Amino acid sequence: MILLDLPLPFVLTFLFIIGSCIGSFLNVCIYRFPIRRRLWDQLRALNSHGSGCPRCSSAIRWYDNIPIFGWLRLGGRCRFCRLPISPRYPLVELLTAVLFVVLYLVEIPQHAHGSPLAWGLYSDDGPQNLTNLHSLELWLHVRYLLHAALICALIVASMIDLELWIIPDGSTVPLMLTWIVLSGAFGQNWIVPLWFQDLSVIQTLQTLLPESVAPLLFYWDCLPFAQQWPHLHGLLVSLTGLVVGGGVVWLVRIIGAAVFKREAMGFGDVVLMAMVGSVIGWQASLIVFLFLAPLMASVVAFSSLLLGRGTEIPYGPWLSLATLVLLLGWRLIWPAAEQFFDQGPVLLLLGLIMFGLLVVVLQMIQLLKRLLGIQGPAQEGVFVDDGIPILYPAERSDPCAGLWQRSNWSGIRSGQGLQQQHMWKCNGRD
């Protein structure tokens, strides 16, 4: 099924070209966002001046700015002063182009793949069940464009986090706010509804548990509400995803700080997951944060430790990669995860148990470190950047030395891993 009945090779070629051009714009965002401290200044920086060489200030000619091929044509160097140009530029352009194509093949079912309901981001309770859905084909393409915008934001946030260990608001907040507005306007671009559950689970628990807890075992079929109030339902899906996605990271941040006596998660990760949750919903954001991202990051951190490179890695790229894996592998991941979310109100109890276990595990890790005589980072001058410990040189007297301007707001310092150092230098004053 292809919009306007265009041939699939033509559509994919067009998406590859458009994706590479957008990737060129993402490179501008990656370079300019970190040199501004406030959201509005970051957005204004995109149109502040044309692209040019940082050494000789020569403007880049239009034919040298062609995505991917421009860099290859120049041999990876400035035309005038021969300053090396980072290969990150063509790689981001190529990555964006490829993901645009792959995402289209995953989200938009083709006739050769079978029924539209058997492919793509499909669930039994998906928007295709809405009686007011005017065109399934149009709805799928609109949702594809919105998810492509999410991928662009994740690429920008990840590339900046990999290099500088921060996630500027410019890479997350604009899409988050835009998606909330569009969710209310379209009302049917969600993946799974606001709430769903298996009635048999509630019926079984009602026979096992005392009558005093029966009112807590409620059952609500969300689809009639979504059919009657599609725009309100779409808005609630986005807002709930924002609160749950950002809130669960914030809660882990608080628990980690209480146990380890230091910042455990960067504030940029909180905003990043809030953006992801506003797009894919609260259920999918929990899958990303609680299962996929920790699994991927743990494997890489353990491999890095075995190779003697330490375990210091920024967490934002793994949240982004986990979100991408969820979108592309939805057909394989969701059937297993759906059984967990079918529990309905029991999820609230399971959530409390999981966070309680988290506190116990972290306390056991601290106890084990004391028994083994391992000193904590507070005694070693190690501070945290986006949730990852880094050893800062003791002779650094200015935490902003050599870096861009920073706000005096403690939340920004916290997200950049500078809050503990700032509090120490200021004798506990914020």
pTM for this one? 0.80
What is the residue whose two structure tokens read 């394989």?
332
Q: Are residues 367 and 332 in the same domain?
A: yes
Statement to judge: residues 116 and 139 lie in one domain:
no
Arithmetic mean of pLDDT, 14-39:
93
Sign of the C-alpha dihedral computed for residues 421, 422, 427 and 430 taken in this order:
negative
Element (H or E) spanning 385, and its range?
A: strand 382-385
Last residue within a domain, chosen from 94, 120, 146: 120
Do 226 and 83 reside in the same domain of the chain? no
Answer yes or no: do 181 and 153 share one domain: yes
- Interval 260-278 mean pLDDT: 85
State what percent of residues in the chain have pLDDT above 90: 33
What phi and psi values does residue 166 have, to the nearest 5 degrees? -135, 160
Band the pLDDT of 6: cuts 50, 70, 90.
confident
Residue 383: in which H helix or E strand, if any?
A: strand 382-385
User: d(Cα 31, Cα 46) in Å, to the nearest integer?
Assistant: 10
The reported pLDDT for the residue numbered 327 is 93
Q: Tell me whether residue 173 is in a domain.
A: yes
Inter-residue contact 302 to 203 (CB < 8 Å): no
Do 141 and 262 share a structural domain? yes
Residue 158's pLDDT is 94
Domain-embedded: residue 155? yes
List the end-to-end C-alpha distance of the chain, in Å, as a whole number.
57
Q: Are residues 142 and 110 in the same domain?
A: no
Q: Do 319 and 288 meet the contact criterion of CB atoms below 8 Å apart?
A: yes
Together in a domain, 105 and 179: no
Q: How many whole angstroms separate alpha carbon 172 and alpha carbon 270?
A: 10
**421 domain-assigned:** no
Domain shared by 37 and 174, yes or no = no
Domain total in the chain: 2
The pLDDT confidence band at residue 371, using thresholds 50, 70 and 90, is confident
**H or E element in which residue 425 lies:** helix 419-425
Does 390 fall in a domain?
no
Dihedral sign of CA atoms 120, 123, 124, 127 in order = negative
Tokens coding 331: 């057909």
Same domain, yes or no: 146 and 79? no
Say yes or no to pLDDT of 34 above 60. Answer: yes
Question: Average pLDDT, whole number, for the chain?
Answer: 78
Amino acid, res. 175:
L
Average pLDDT over residues 118-134: 65
| Residues 19, 100 contacting (CB under 8 angstroms) | yes
In a domain, 276, yes or no: yes
The residues that bridge with 384 in the sheet, in sequence order, are 389
How confident is residue 133, by pLDDT bands cut at 50, 70 and 90?
low
- Give the domain-ending residue among 334, 358, 379: 379
Residues 152 and 5 both lie in one domain: no
Q: In this structure, are 106 and 148 located in the same domain?
A: no
Place of tokens 């005694």: 379
In a domain, residue 400? The reply is no
β-sheet bridge partners, residue 382: 391
Residue 417 forms part of a structural domain: no
Residue 277 or 361, more confident: 277
Domain membership of residue 335 as a residue range: 135-379
List, for residues 52-69, the tens digit of each pLDDT value. Answer: 787 787 888 888 888 999
Q: Residue 240 domain-assigned?
A: yes
The 3-state DSSP class for residue 84 equals strand
Domain boundary at 69, 91, 120, which?
Answer: 120
Note whether 222 and 233 are within 8 A (CB): yes
- Tell whether 211 and 288 lie within a shared domain: yes
